[in-house]
Structure 1
């Protein structure tokens, strides 16, 4: 029966196999001790440190850092349109820039609208006639599809002037009396 008991336990393990198993166990214990020591050393030093190779924590030149931030946050188009606001006279010409000023850029998913305020109805009409050429020029400068429509606003109404004889609570000449 002793032979049957040995067969039930499985094949006999030779000395070479026992040595391999002992070596694998010793390696695993050494790895665990090494990892624990590395963690203790890193916690004493204050965390991760930069090595010889470049990584995401290395300092960057200011221009590169701003470009990276602009890309990560998705600010390319708003910054490009902001550049148009600053170079308005250069893009549309000095005469038009004296009388028409960009006010706002709305970036809706399907409509990208640049709103422009003009100081007279004559210049507003002129800008409405030039709008298709201006959209083409802006898209050539900023990238295709950046501006799809130019909304032209005429001159605003004058601000209400309140004299010394004013009824308290009245809205002035715009009062509807009822």
Structure 2
């Protein structure tokens, strides 16, 4: 099943439900942070979340019990994938580079993930090397070379005409 993007309001409701596990409408209204939206608004969002297959309902008498159909980790991975696609050209290395550059992460944070590796190069060095390689590939495959060739051919043409 293809996940659909949630609006900020829908996501806020899902965060509450993921935290609680399953919930009745009245419970949801009680734990909803201030300023609380109108009950009809929350009810509409719940209906939309059921239609988007994020929530399952179980009728118990006259009321419904809402439980998540999509796990929080599945949604988190979906959001991360879209984030990488939209802002980092599907490059996890680019995201890591920004996180390190902006000091959200330090290279020591990656030691548990790199202990088994025989290479002792730092994450920052790996990212810089990868960027250098990407720039080199762009340089040799890009149109820069063809422009240089055109300039050389124009100079040769002028010399022959003289």
Fold conserved between structures, TM > 0.5:
no
Give the TM bin, normalised by the shorter chain: under 0.3
TM-score by length of 2: 0.22
Structure with the greater relative contact order (CA < 8 A, sep ≥ 6): 1 or 2? 2
Larger Rg: 1
**TM, length-normalised to structure 1:** 0.21
Q: Which has the higher helix share?
A: 2
